[in-house]
Amino acid sequence: MRLQLLFAHPSSSVQCGSTGSSALRTEAGSGSYKEMKGRTSRFHGLGVANSSRRGNPFVETSLNYALTYITYVADSKDFGSLSITILADDDYYSETAFSKSADRKAGEFVNFGVPLFEAHKTGLGSSAALVTSLVSALVIHRTMQPDDIAAARDKLHNLAQAAHCAAQGKVGSGFDVAVAVYGSCLYRRFSPSILESIGDAGSPGFDERLFKVVEDADSEHPWDTECLDFGMTLPHGMQMVLCDVECGSQTPSMVKKVLEWRKQNKQEADLLWDALQSNNERLVLEFKQLSQNPEKGFDEVRSLIQRSRNHIRSMTAKSDVPIEPKVQTELLDAISEVEGVVGGVVPGAGGYDALAVLIRDEPEVIERLKALFENWESKVEDDFGGKIGKVRLLGVRHGSLGLENEGLEQYRAWL
């Protein structure tokens, strides 16, 4: 999955991609593209003027943070004229009647025929990939050569985490941003106090505090993120597929409710959290052992996934948050019975997002899943009132790459 940023200057074009998340050209209203303009605000940061009728906090915050950082470090403060086109793989959004009939002459991206705020996300981390791509493309375009991207990953990660957390109004797990920058990895979150030390955008000293966090130059709040096993892959003979349920969830509000429950029921929540963490670590170890001994088989992976789901359902009941609601349980149970399926989960914060399913890497398994989904209709009453729409396999598969520069040629039709 990629999100593309296309920059058009009077005499040049630059493009930067990121694994992770968005799909329409960023629309605001009936067919008009979102225009964003930055203005300086006396060394404390940048204000962002939104010319559309409906704002996008992830775009606006990304511009604010990226341009503030660039203004602080760049030799020239003159940004000139800059037009940004945002593209992403189609699977970040559920299909619309318009997108199903749209031709693909312009490349692999299609117009969904709706404003972005009306699009149904599939839940693959679109906001994180949007923020990561936007801040990275701006910083690379204005302050470094594209070939420097490998050496700058840590700074780009730090800036993207800061912007993403500010846009969603909380410090989340940060995993989706980390994967968008570094690719597949084992990840442990940073201390929230790192980003809390930045303060509000536009406040006195904001630009300097942001610079210190991005550059990891704040001795009182050093970055303590753990990212290990970059580019890790699935064991031989295993593949990951994603199943859209045409619903989607509001991740930030769900996470806030879970964290509030955890705060009020610390002892009970910590026991459940620790059990889930321990099981996840066993799953990682099993993947490593399978990579060395593929003949071992996937039975233990299947058992560990089921155990994780048990913990998640317990968390759902105790927190009263639809992490694995009944309609998703019903679908996952049916999927797990398909020959060749290892197991599946509702990934990320859970809810009604696309399901992640591990399968044997065989074409026959894909066909069996398609047959299951063709006339799928839920028969249970959901405990949170959710409804699953048309279930379909998305075209994406497991990948290991993170932030990268790509050739511009395939995107020229969108400039």
pLDDT of the residue at 21: 31
pLDDT score at 250: 61
Q: What is the pTM of this model?
A: 0.81
Q: Do residues 170 and 54 touch, judged by C-beta distance below 8 A?
A: no
Same domain flag for 375 and 255: yes
CATH code: domain of residue 243 = 3.30.70.890
- Asked if 224 and 314 sit in the same domain, the reply is no
330 and 244 together in one domain: yes
Q: Per-residue confidence at 230, pLDDT binned at 50, 70, 90?
A: confident
Whether 273 and 377 map to the same domain: the answer is yes
Q: How much is the pLDDT for 44?
A: 46
260 and 383: one domain? yes
pLDDT higher than 70, residue 37:
no
Output the pLDDT for position 97. 54
Burial annotation 153-179 (CB, 10 A radius, 16+ → b, else e): bbbbbbbbbbbbbbbbeebbebbbbbb
Q: What is the pLDDT of residue 68?
A: 95
Extended strands (E) in 72-201: 83-88, 186-188
Question: Is the residue at 50 inside a domain?
Answer: no
The domain that contains 131 carries what CATH number?
3.30.230
Domain total of the chain? 2
> Which residues, 6 or more positions from 181, have their beta carbon under 8 angstroms from its beta carbon?
18, 132, 136, 153, 156, 157, 160, 402, 403
pLDDT score at 90: 80
Is residue 17 situated within a structural domain? no
Percentages helix, strand, coil for the chain (3-state, rounded to 5) are 45, 15, 40
Phi, psi of 121, rounded to the nearest 5 degrees: -75, 150
Q: Which domain holds residue 298?
A: 238-397
CA 347 to chain centre: 11
Give the pLDDT confidence of 170-216 residue by residue, as tens digits.
Answer: 888 899 999 999 988 888 899 999 999 999 998 999 999 999 999 99
Q: Does residue 322 form part of some domain?
A: yes
One domain, residues 111 and 215 = yes
Query: Mean pLDDT across the stretch 408-414?
Result: 76
Helix count and strand count (H, E) for the chain? 12, 11
312 and 243 in a common domain: yes
Same domain? 125 vs 61: yes
Q: Are residues 191 and 311 in the same domain?
A: no
Residue 36 lies in a domain: no
Percent of the chain surpassing pLDDT 70: 82
